[in-house]
Amino acid sequence: MDPVEFLRNYLTRDRDVPGNDTEEFLDLDYFDAGLIDSFGVINLVAEIEGTFSVRFGPSDMQSKEFRTVRGLSGIIQKLRSG
Amino acid sequence: MRSLGLRRGDVVFSHSNVGFLGFPEEGNDPETVFGVLLDAFMDVVGPEGTVLIPTFSYSFCKDEDFDIDNTPSSVGAFTEYFRRKPGVVRSLEPIFSIAGTGPKAGMILSDVSNECFGPGSAWERMLQEDAAIVNVGISIGSTFIHYVEQALGVPYRYRKLFTGQYAAYGRSGRMGSVYFVRDLSYPGATPSWKNLEPDARDRGLATVAEVGRGEVSLIRCSDMFDLCRDGLEKNPAYLVEGPLETGRPNIVAVPEDIPALGPQSTMTEMIDAVWDLPRDIVSEGYDRALLALGGVLDMKVHEYPTGTECWTWLIPEKWKCRDAYVETMDGRRVLSYSDSPLHVASYSVPFEGELTRDELLGRIEVRESLPDAVPFGFRYYNRGWGLSCSLKTRDSLKDDRYRVVVDSAFSYGTLKVGEVVAPGKSQRSIVLCAHLCHPAMVNDGLSGVVVGMEVMRRLLSMPGRRYTYRLLILPETIGSLAWLSANEDLIGSLEGGLFLEMLGTDAPHSLQLSYYGNTRMDKCMVSALKANDPDGWVGGYREVICNDERQFNAPGARVPMLSLSRVYPKDSGKWPYPEYHTSLDTPEILSPGRLESSVDMVLRMIDNLERTNYVINKFKGEVFCSKYGIHIDFYKNPKGHAKLFNVMDRIDGTTTVEDIADDCGLTHDECLDVVRTLEARGLVELSDVPIRDGRERDG
């Protein structure tokens, strides 16, 4: 599964997010936008790791990229490719 | 946490993103996860320690009320969990509240100042306690840095007042909160830890430990303060994304389309050039008007940046309304800012949305007594938005729904005060004052401005002035406070002043006395009014109309400033004048010749001031009138006899011509005639200062 589509579906699973099919959505900071909170990220991490067979390290989770769809999918791709 | 250096009895402040650590062994439900984190803090600091957690709500920034007990935290589920725990206290801080538990929580969080990041804030108290900033699952950075930025006065932030409604401890009301906000005209001023984080680690000021999926870090407030200070000294962009080279174009840009006025421009031409500009208190329209007037007379423009403290006030942001309208759902405009700036309350916040008819009507102001008038509204210190229209327009709104757009913007700017000076022999000054800030209105404000300008033009052509004259053109209230607070060293040399306002109507002159009511200024001006406008009337302080003279007369300044206007009396039903604060206040309501006669009145008042001196007796005992050829027979001319002796009785070096005239019930000129007669015979001298028994005295 494409990480971008996975993340798009995950973040819009329980709510309608206008513009989620646009380029701008890929660079939206989903924490600042309130789409996910600090507790919800645990579940997000668990689902991503389960779906893509990857494991995030501390530096991945602290990075700026972790906070956007585009950035996080890039981390996932990097981890998948080893 | 112990390995990081957190100790028993510590005050600890924590930003957390608990999810970034992963699930603890104890469980994966929120209560368990949050409980593990809180227990960790409590276990290390013990009952002697204090735990502080941010519960920022940003309420006033979002135009929402703040209820200390019920307004939720906006910064994460853990902070809400903590806030609701029994025994936790919270600061009464409507933007950046903090919750806490422990022996020092009350001391740190109660009675915080209304400066979010300034003296008296919880951040300052945390620094005084050298609290540990322990971040969980996030970087080392902290909101604490804004306290450091304000303490050091970084250029990319400024102080901004937010106001709103609060509820706390069984009370409610309005309060203000001053937030050191980011200047949006600096694109690179978004906070960043890219310099702070590696420095803190490299210098060993931050200790870090891996926990689960993430990290926990600790840095002491004092170390954070020193790190930020040292970093900012070397790199002004140390705490932001950068770059900061693009500065604040707002305060250096000269607006375009400045109306052309020149040294020969008449009062009517000045009014025609600027009256319909959107002259809000800090705005491009105001700047254009002031710069245009600067073409008439040599004028110094004082600039006071947004956030500058003016005694207890703050200079507000600059406001601009690019467009605003109300339209029906099928696109028909029913009112528009482009038709009149008065359609939008000055300093309205931006808004875009659909409203029901009732919701819209709740936002619209009308003037019932003037069905065609659009009233003037403003929200300088009460965030929100509002509209105005004529009663007729409002009553024509029949649709169920409307679309509303208020495309306004706030930015860093400078409030401007124009000053024209006519130097005199004395450094003591008389201040003329008028306000320029009422958009698209004439009699209120602008009439006083042009009268002041014309008075100054004539004064500048009069040689040998005794006093120095200053005309201040400024935004109402805040402009006077800005100038006074920046010129405290001048206040002692201000002899007095006259506020000029609403001078274009048919009403006779109305003169409002100064706070003291019996100063030399008061007496000279009352005397001139009585001699030159028989229908003119005098009212006590704050009894005629209130304007900037309040600031000059207020405690801490106490400059005796009167106010000259042409308002109708309060019991006339027309006070101050019918078109006041509406779109009907246009050049058409100005009566021909009124402005010119007001110029004449002011000049006569000034003439009295210039001619008023202390009268120094060069005689002792009663004068032997026959010897000096000034004897008046009591039986043949009792009035003349009484006038001469009443005046002579009051001459002792401590009274002025005006004092004596006022006391004797004479006009200034009648009294001066007697004094000149005595002066010609060497019996009196005139002086700028009181002198008794050959020595200068306090007047």
Note whether ipTM > 0.95 here.
no
At residue A52, φ and ψ (nearest 5 deg) are -105, 0
Preferred mutation among A42, A44, A47, A56 to probe B, highest tally of B CBs within 10 A: A42
B47 and B162 belong to one structural domain: yes
B420 and B406 belong to one structural domain: no
B284 has a pLDDT exceeding 50: yes
- Percent of residues, chain B, with pLDDT higher than 70: 98
Count of structural domains within chain A? 1
Structural domain contains residue B255 = no
Instruction: Give the number of other CB atoms < 10 A from CB of residue B526.
Output: 22
Tell me the residue range of the domain where B386 lies: 318-411
Q: Which residues on A lie below 8 Å from B194 (Cβ)?
A: none
Residue where one domain finishes, among candidates B590, B610, B630? B610
B519 and B566 belong to one structural domain: yes
Residues 76-95, chain B, touching A (beta carbon < 8 A): 76-78
Q: Does the distance separating the beta carbons of B139 and A41 come in below 8 Å?
A: no
Distances from the Cα of B682 to the Cαs of B643, B672, B675, in angstroms? 19, 15, 11
What does B353-398 look like in DSSP terms, one character per residue?
EEEEHHHHHTTEE--TT-TTPPBP-B-SSS----EE--HHHHHT--
Preferred mutation among B213, B215, B216 to probe A, highest tally of A CBs within 10 A: B213
Give B482-521 pLDDT, tens digit per residue: 999 999 999 999 999 999 999 999 999 999 999 999 998 9
- Cα-only R_g, chain A: 12
Nearest Cα to Cα of residue B471 among B493, B499, B490: B499
> What tokens appear for A37 in the block?
């909170």
Which residues make beta-bridge pairs with B411? B318
B367 and B490 belong to one structural domain: no
Q: Does the distance separating the beta carbons of A58 and B76 come in below 8 Å?
A: no
Nearest Cα to Cα of residue B274 among B262, B256, B286: B286
Residue B229, SS3 per DSSP: helix
Structural domain contains residue B190 = yes
CATH of the domain at B522: 3.40.630.10
- Residues with Cβ within 8 Å of residue B389, at least 6 apart in sequence: B335, B343, B364, B366, B374
The verdict on B210 touching A (C-beta cutoff 8 Å) is: yes
Which of left, alpha, beta for B215 (phi over 0: left; psi -120 to 50: alpha)?
beta
B515 and B565 belong to one structural domain: yes
From the number of C-beta atoms within 10 Å of its C-beta (0-12, 13-18, 19+), residue B638 rates as exposed
Say how many residues make up chain A.
82
Q: How far is A49 from chain B (nearest CA, A)?
A: 12
B222 and B298 belong to one structural domain: no
Give B65-75 pLDDT, tens digit per residue: 999 999 999 99
B699 has a pLDDT exceeding 50: no
Structural domain contains residue B663 = yes
Of the candidates A37, A44, A62, which has its C-beta nearest B214's C-beta? A62
* Residue B252: per-residue pLDDT: 47
Q: How confident is the model at residue B248 (pLDDT cuts 50, 70, 90)?
A: low
> What tokens appear for A25 in the block?
């959505």
Q: Which residues on B lie below 8 Å from A45 (Cβ)?
A: 19, 22, 213
Q: Does the distance separating the beta carbons of A39 and B78 come in below 8 Å?
A: yes
pTM of the model: 0.87
Nearest Cα to Cα of residue B303 among B479, B178, B179, B430: B479
Q: How confident is the model at residue B697 (pLDDT cuts 50, 70, 90)?
A: low
Measured distance CA(B562)–CA(B497) in Å, rounded: 6
Nearest Cα to Cα of residue B376 among B568, B550, B586: B586
Distances from the Cα of B507 to the Cαs of A6, B329, B347, B442, B536, in angstroms? 76, 46, 32, 16, 9
Tell me the residue range of the domain where A62 lies: 3-80
Cα angle B316, B322, B328; round to 5? 120
Which residues make beta-bridge pairs with B537? B510
The verdict on B137 touching A (C-beta cutoff 8 Å) is: yes
The verdict on B20 touching A (C-beta cutoff 8 Å) is: yes
The verdict on B285 touching A (C-beta cutoff 8 Å) is: no
Residue with tokens 């690179």: B188
The arithmetic mean of pLDDT across residues B260-279, rounded, is 96
Q: How far is B114 from chain A (nearest CA, A)?
A: 26
The verdict on A37 touching B (C-beta cutoff 8 Å) is: yes
The verdict on B141 touching A (C-beta cutoff 8 Å) is: no
CA B480 to chain centre: 8
Residue bearing the bigger pLDDT, B693 or B450: B450
B141 and B129 belong to one structural domain: yes
Measured distance CA(B672)–CA(B263) in Å, rounded: 36
What does B643-680 look like in DSSP terms, one character per residue?
HHHHHHHT-SSS-BHHHHHHHHT--HHHHHHHHHHHHH
**What does the buried/exposed string (b/e) look like for A28-63 if buried means 16 or more CB atoms within 10 Å of the residue's CB?**
bebbeeebbbbbbbbebbeebbeebebebebebbbb
